[in-house]
A and B are shown apart, each in its own frame.
Chain A
Amino acid sequence: MKKYSIYIFEALMLLILAVFLYPFVIVFINSARDAFSVTQYPMRIPANWGQIFINMRSIITDPNIRYGSSFISSILITGLSLMILTLLPAQAGWVLVRTKTRTSQLIFFMFVASMVIPFQIVMFPLITWFRTIYEVTGIKLLRTYTGIILSYLGFGLALSVFMYHGFIKGIPYELEEAATIDGCSRPGVFYRIIFPLLTPTHATICILHGIWIWNDFLLPLLVLGKGNRIQTLPLAVANFAGACVKQGDLILTAILLAMIPVIILFLIAQKKIIKGMVAGSIKG
């Protein structure tokens, strides 16, 4: 009796899975169609799978979407932001944990408090500030890599400091004492002992922030703007879908091309990603 109920649940779960995966199937089969049959028979298995490569090539060479350059700038922005977002908060968290004064407590509290404020509230002051900085000092922040990486740094710092703070608390102080007795300098203690011990936290931070930065749309739209030389992948897809007269086949191919890197990454590091996201949700 019990065995049957498990089979029934398995079947039910498979059904739910099918419902969940169906949109992916639709993307995949409709990428392999020409402009006519995509509006006519979107549900059928395509007759000619070779079309998928023709569509892909027309997306990659399309002047509106500029797939190659936006892919590279997406990777640049995400990678540089992640590097800064792991290095700086780890240092900050270490100092905040190891100096036990009123001031450091206050600073940590301010970091945590800033996590509560939603993005929508600070986006206008951010843009106005960027403009003012440009007018006063001549440093260009809007529509540049510097500007967007700086803003990701600001928005991601709080969560990173919070998580590093929690993790560094669990590292025994005796380790650092031993290193100091052996003649390690203060930066040496951090880079040789603390930083390698933080590897699981680095992974969690990279996954949480990486997914967010890669997919983010509103911040690049504000800082980089539409029709800019530098654009991230979501911006490119939005530009393309907005500019084209509803070419269903090509839009779906663009979606497929934007999905492929994420799917590959997800298949490689599935376990770590799930662990990191669950940890982030429970701690953050």
Chain B
Amino acid sequence: MLYPLSDSLPDNQLGIHYIVIGGKGGPFTFIGLQQADQEFGGLILGYLWQFIFNNAIPSIGSNLPLFGFLALPENLVLSKVCSSVMALVIVGSWQYAGYIMMIYVAAIEAVPGSLYKAAKIDGASEWMKFRSITVPMIAQAFTITMFLTLVNSFKQFDVNYALTAGGPATMFMEKPIFGTELLALNIYRTAFVSNNLAGGQARAVVFFVVLVDITLIQIRINKRKEVEL
């Protein structure tokens, strides 16, 4: 349950990071490359990151003595529940960051330049300009990006399927309890793996109600912060 929240945060942080830089206006054409992440399906990215977490990171440990602890099998990222959730968060934010950035860029470009000039005449510093012009003017973009990241993270299925497949599982009362099974995967498993269509549908309806509630609350909170010219 915590996953969607923790996933939408780093995305927006990256976006904000970009605003700070993009607001200054440098030639950043190569940023477009980051956008490419979005075009690959979550499934392919899931397998790719699985390789990174399982092979590439331990190999740093075995080749550099300073980071030797990374090579130990009990320190594998995907072997513990806590760190596998973090792995899902990393992949999720990596996947959507480019897209979110593009929305912020479009929003920043729409801010009228006369406001910055007026602020400059009044003697505002760069930080003040950013805080009292850029952030309020793109509050609408914040609403959109928060909404998109929240909904997408709740619906996350293919990264979850490919990267962790719900594991690492622990046995409890002779039933496997999956550590990182997200809602969509759980619904899918209930219906098609354990052949309980009715139960899966009931979970889907509950999922829908929860999703609508959370997004409505989020939009209401975000709308309060928007300004209109």
Contacts and interface: CB of A to CB of B under 8 A. Distances in A.
A167 interface: no
B155 A237 contact: no
A234 interface: yes
Given A6-B24, A255-B44, A278-B103, A266 B39 contact: yes
B94 A274 contact: no
B26 A252 contact: no
A23 B21 contact: no
Given A12-B21, A263-B36, A266-B36, A214 B55 contact: no
Interface string A95-111: 00000000000000000
A216 interface: yes
Contact of B52 (A6, A9, A26): A26
B42 to A, nearest CB: 7
A218 B43 CA distance: 10
Nearest to B184: A120
Chain B interface secondary structure, helix, strand, loop or mixed?
Answer: helix
A199 interface: no
Contact of B211 (A38, A118, A125): A118
B200 interface: yes
Give the top 4 A-B pairs by smallest Cβ distance, nearest first: A215-B41, A217-B158, A121-B204, A234-B43
A281 B161 contact: no
Contact of A26 (B28, B51, B162): B51
Interface of A: 5-6, 9-10, 12-13, 16-17, 20-21, 23, 26-27, 30, 38-43, 116-121, 123-125, 128, 211, 214-218, 222, 234, 237-238, 241, 248, 251-252, 255, 258-259, 262-263, 265-266, 270, 273-274, 277-278, 281-282
B89 to A, nearest CB: 15
B68 interface: no
Given A12-B21, A211-B38, A124 B191 contact: yes
B40 A215 contact: yes
A278 B106 contact: yes
Nearest to B215: A116
Interface of B: 17, 21, 24, 26, 28, 30-45, 47-49, 51-52, 55-56, 59-60, 63, 94, 97-99, 102-103, 106, 144, 148, 151, 155, 157-158, 161-162, 183-184, 187-188, 191-192, 197, 200-201, 204-205, 207-208, 211-212
A262 B40 contact: yes
Given A119-B155, A217-B43, A234-B43, A23 B49 contact: yes
A214 B36 CA distance: 14
A124 B197 contact: yes
B208 A274 contact: no
B55 A39 contact: yes
A13 B37 contact: no
Contact of B47 (A117, A123, A237): A237
B189 to A, nearest CB: 12
Contacts of B56: 26, 42-43
A237 B43 contact: yes
A252 B48 CA distance: 7
Given A121-B204, A237-B47, A116 B188 contact: no
A6 B26 contact: yes
Contact of B204 (A6, A116, A120, A214): A120
Contacts of A262: 36, 39-40
A217 B157 contact: yes
Contact of B51 (A248, A258, A265, A282): A248
Contact of B207 (A116, A121, A258): A121
A218 B32 contact: no
A248 B103 CA distance: 35
Given A17-B33, A262-B39, A277-B102, A234 B55 contact: no
Given A13-B26, A124-B197, 18 more contacts: A17-B31, A20-B97, A23-B94, A38-B55, A118-B151, A120-B184, A120-B208, A121-B204, A121-B205, A124-B201, A125-B201, A214-B41, A215-B43, A238-B43, A255-B44, A258-B44, A266-B36, A278-B106
B35 A30 contact: no
B31 A43 contact: no
A118 B155 contact: yes
B44 A281 contact: no
B26 A43 contact: no
Nearest to B105: A278
Given A42-B55, A118-B207, A214-B41, A21 B33 contact: yes
Nearest to A19: B94
A270 B98 CA distance: 13
Given A13-B28, A255-B47, A217 B161 contact: yes
Nearest to B165: A242
